[in-house]
Structure 1
Amino acid sequence: MAPIRIGFIGLSTQGWAASGLVPSLFDPLLSPSYTLTALCTSSPVSASAAASKYSELAGRPVKAYHGENGFTEIANDPEVDMVAVSIKIPDHFKAVWPAIEAGKDIFIEWTVGNGLEETVKIAEAAKKKGLKVLVGAQANHGVAINKAKELVESGRIGRVLSTTAILSAPFFWGKLANPSFKYGYDIDNGEQRRLLSLKIRSQVPSAGATPLTIPVGHFIVALSHVLGEFTSLSAHGIIAVPTAKVIDAAGNETGEIFQKTAHDQVAVSGVLRGNGAYTEMSFANIHARVALGEQGRGRTLFKWIIDGEDGTIELREDGTGGGFVAIGEKRVFLNGEEVKLEEKAEDRLGNSGKAWLEFAKGAEGKFFGIDDAVRLHRAVDAAQKSINEGRTVVL
């Protein structure tokens, strides 16, 4: 089978796409299935630099596109089979829409669209065209996550009663803001405040790149994979650190200070409905705390406890993933004893690489797709509605 030819929107010489998404495509486990043929960045300078870098890695020319016109040009490139999108969330929709219209398969980072409404539109349009969509929410490929799932499903802790998680993101949403991520401090790019000003609280969406949509959203991917989906939930959020200072590339303060509107302390609690003998029903509590400043001082970055009638599973993070469930491997403990994690050859690809691997299998692949993303958005949206309205929301 011929390799899938990828055109990558948002692939520069540095950043998440460059460090977390694309390197595994050049691994021998994936290189027979994929080839990078084009990329698009914000400017001609960055596009030229990136094309030079990846042409050398690919051993063949990689075309360079730039700007919003590049979204359409890369989608219509006859040498592109699949368009990948990894840019600022508010720009996802306009970047991916030309690819859908061109009938190209898609990779798109979570949160797919900027909120539930955009994501549903993308899902419906992609289905109408018969397109395959791989969503960048890769927690379910983690070695530790799947070990926890195996322990639960084998009955090692008996019937699951409850689960509690502490999530962190020490360097995001805090007192200092990189200008490229300033939009993440806005609860949803201004839409929420507009609706609140009109007192249309029931229509307030969950959007943007906030602690609720990102750390909590990614964790719900793992939670659903291991224990089940929320059937009802309630949530609370506060802004503990109300302002942020903008810093430049060197980390120096620019003098600009702005008000944060995204909650930096979020708690989500609710009832899970599982689909196995040991996960029929359980209670979940998630606390995401960000704006912590320094990573040290004894802080727990990530801890996930699953309590059953006959024992406990605990997952901990040593700091390599910065508290995010989908990045960095976790340690697993069963009843206080560490469980050895045996890695397979594909685990060297990381979670994102394993998602690419599953997507390449076609109908047999197990990956987080567009229907999964819509379900996840409904849960996150329910949490935002609960925060705004002060009530439990049934899904």
Structure 2
Amino acid sequence: MPPIRVGLVGLSGAPPDQYEGTSWTPSAHLPYLLASPHYEIVALLNTSVASGKAAIERYSLPLETKAYGKPEDPTVDLVVVSIRVDRHFAPVRPSIIAGKSVFVEWPLERNLEVAKEMAALAAKHGSKTMVGLQGSFSPVIRKLKETVAEEKIGKILSSTVFASMVNAGPKERKNVRYFLDREVGGSILSIHLGHAIEYITSVLGEITTWNSLLSNRHEFKDIIDPSKDNKIIVKDAPNTVPDQIMLHGLVSPSNAPISIHFRGGKQFPGTPALEWRIQGEKGELRLTSSSFGLNVGTPDTKVELFDEESGIVEELVPNSSELDDLPIPAQNIARLYEAFRKGEWYPDFEWAVKRHEMLAEIWRRHDEATIYT
């Protein structure tokens, strides 16, 4: 089969310290797309032709790569959107109407209403859709899922997840200052917890009954410039998103209780940034990592199995593949691309709407609470 022809929205030609965003497109999407014989980057759909040409030169893309803003171009099979969350819909809309396949990063858009509109439009025009909820494709997550399914710890009794996020503390980088604005739709609730809900439920099942608590303990944050040794460039910028998230509920089908606490700030020295425990009748699983982001991954992520009868703690090793040779941020994104080309299951816009519904309900309960934190 000929390679899938890709048009990228979000590959900037500017140095990372000079543009808005997280450099996710070059670090997570580009490595696989350049290495795979099954995909071919044929166009950059940037805000200007000049920006597209600068990116082609910066990342040494083939000279025949087009630099323009025509997402409905018939020579493009798959349009990939990896930009600021509240700007996802506009550039991908013409491609959806043209019936093209589209891959949009998570969150799908700034809120549930826009996400539903995107999903409805894609259904109307028969557009194949994919969303960047890659956590369930992680080999670590699949090893956990496999171990639970094989009942190596027996009946699930409970699960706890605790994570510290240094990027949700008292300061924020200038390139992602928009993370402080709830209306933009990118925050530790939508991004961090949204990804976590995806990989947690892929192992334990959906969270059916739950309560949540949001708290904003940093109503003002200093904006820093990483390119200038983290110099403070704005003092006391308003912050309207939470930096403390607690969620407690039951997972189906085991009906086991689960407790999740995501907090902004550094972890205690000598402790992991993320610890996830799954308690069973016969033993316990413990996952630790230096990052909360299992959807991205870290080389030090460890999964251990404790067998109560023998008293032995065994480290579980995830299955390996050739995709492990890619940079870590690109590996699970690559697994999404692989599932798409093979016609296997992958999260689409309808799936993303389901995740957005839970996040919207968390916000609704917070807004309607009689006690505000």
TM-score normalised over the length of structure 2: 0.88
Q: 1:287 is aligned with what amino acid?
A: H
Q: Counterparts of 2:110 and 2:281 in 1: how far apart (Å)?
A: 40
Name the SS for the 2:25 alignment partner: helix
Alignment of 1:166-177 (within 5 A): 166-170=162-166, 172-177=167-172
Q: Are residues 1:286 and 2:294 paired?
A: no
Q: 2:283 aligned to 298, 311, 315, which one?
A: 311
Per the TM alignment, residue 212 of structure 1 is displaced from its structure 2 partner at its CA by 0.9
Q: 2:11 is aligned with what amino acid?
A: L
Name the SS for the 2:54 alignment partner: helix
Q: 2:197 aligned to 206, 215, 220, which one?
A: 220
**TM-superposition CA deviations, 1:164-189 (whole Å, max 9, x none):** 1112321x233222233111111223
Per the TM alignment, residue 42 of structure 1 is displaced from its structure 2 partner at its CA by 4.1
Q: Compared with structure 1, are the counterparts of its residues 253 and 43 closer, same or farther at alpha carbon in structure 2 (3 Å cutoff)? A: farther
Q: 1:51 aligned to 56, 71, 77, which one?
A: 56
In the alignment, what sits opposite 2:335? 354
Q: Counterparts of 1:377 and 1:270 in 2: how far apart (Å)?
A: 18
Q: Are residues 1:84 and 2:80 paired?
A: yes
Q: Counterparts of 1:137 and 1:109 in 2: how far apart (Å)?
A: 8
Instruction: Tell me how many residue pairs correspond in the alignment.
Output: 348
Between 344-353 and 153-162, report the one with greater CA deviation. 344-353
The answer (yes or no) to whether the contact 1:167–1:324 under 8 Å persists in 2 is no
Q: 1:245 aligned to 222, 226, 247, which one?
A: 222
Name the SS for the 1:188 alignment partner: helix
Q: Are residues 1:146 and 2:120 paired?
A: no
Per the TM alignment, residue 297 of structure 1 is displaced from its structure 2 partner at its CA by 2.5
* Structure 1 unaligned spans of 5+: 190-207, 275-279
Q: 1:387 aligned to 359, 366, 371, which one?
A: 366
In the alignment, what sits opposite 1:36? 41
Q: Compared with structure 1, are the counterparts of its residues 175 and 43 closer, same or farther at alpha carbon in structure 2 (3 Å cutoff)? A: farther
Name the SS for the 1:358 alignment partner: helix
| Percentage identity across paired residues of the two chains | 32
Per the TM alignment, residue 21 of structure 1 is displaced from its structure 2 partner at its CA by 1.4
Q: Are residues 1:26 and 2:34 paired?
A: yes
Q: Counterparts of 1:296 and 1:61 in 2: how far apart (Å)?
A: 51
The answer (yes or no) to whether the contact 1:235–1:384 under 8 Å persists in 2 is no
* Structure 2 unaligned spans of 5+: 17-22, 307-312
Q: 2:303 aligned to 309, 332, 338, which one?
A: 332
Q: Counterparts of 2:50 and 2:162 in 1: how far apart (Å)?
A: 41
Which 4+ stretches in 1 moved above 6 angstroms?
A: none
Q: Counterparts of 1:315 and 1:367 in 2: how far apart (Å)?
A: 24
In the alignment, what sits opposite 2:209? 232
In the alignment, what sits opposite 1:108? 104
Q: 1:63 aligned to 59, 62, 66, which one?
A: 66
**TM-superposition CA deviations, 1:181-221 (whole Å, max 9, x none):** 111111223xxxxxxxxxxxxxxxxxx11111111100111
Per the TM alignment, residue 81 of structure 1 is displaced from its structure 2 partner at its CA by 1.1
The answer (yes or no) to whether the contact 1:237–1:263 under 8 Å persists in 2 is yes
Q: Counterparts of 2:175 and 2:56 in 1: how far apart (Å)?
A: 22
Q: Compared with structure 1, are the counterparts of its residues 188 and 52 closer, same or farther at alpha carbon in structure 2 (3 Å cutoff)? A: same
Q: Counterparts of 2:48 and 2:72 in 1: how far apart (Å)?
A: 19
Per the TM alignment, residue 340 of structure 1 is displaced from its structure 2 partner at its CA by 2.4
RMSD (Å) for aligned C-alpha atoms: 1.9
In the alignment, what sits opposite 2:114? 118
Q: 2:67 is aligned with what amino acid?
A: A
**TM-superposition CA deviations, 1:3-51 (whole Å, max 9, x none):** 1111111012551100111211122xxx221100111334555422211
In the alignment, what sits opposite 2:178? 183
Per the TM alignment, residue 241 of structure 1 is displaced from its structure 2 partner at its CA by 2.1
